[in-house]
Amino acid sequence: MTDGMHTLFNGKACTHILNENKIVIKPFPFVHASMQNFIDDIQLEQIMTTFTNKIVTFKILYEAYHASSFGGSNTCGIFLTLDNKNSDALINDTLEKMTQQMLDLGLEFKCLIKFTLEFKEKV
């Protein structure tokens, strides 16, 4: 494990390093009010500096909701996959894509369910 990855174990999440190319992070339920809050909690920017020579793919499963006209709210799970093949601003791209995805669907962020990091060598 590299020095930058120790922050994964300090956040409010359960982290599983499956192998040198895949890390699965399952945040504790409802402890992050936003994706930005999660990114700050695990110090993702620091982790990303460890993998500057690799293609990094984020696979994000999160829950979002919209108010129901009958009371309560309707929730749904949303899956999003992004990588840094064409951009070095993967974290900002992730936040923008999630925001746009929720706006397009008329939803609001509820909680993060699973966040997976996958790494491949750049060719």
Q: What's the pLDDT tens digit per position in 64-120? A: 998 777 877 888 999 999 988 877 788 888 999 999 999 999 999 999 999 999 999
Give the Cα separation of 101 and 56 in Å (integer).
Answer: 21
Give the Cα separation of 103 and 121 in Å (integer).
Answer: 34
- Side by side, the strands of the sheet bearing 73-83 are 13-19, 22-27, 108-121, 54-67, 73-83
| Mean pLDDT on 57-69 | 89
- For residue 10, give the 3-state DSSP assignment: coil
List the domain range (segments joined by +) for residue 37. Answer: 3-121
| Mean pLDDT on 17-24 | 88
Total count of domains within the chain? 1
Give the Cα separation of 115 and 61 in Å (integer).
Answer: 6
Residue 15 has pLDDT above 60, yes or no: yes
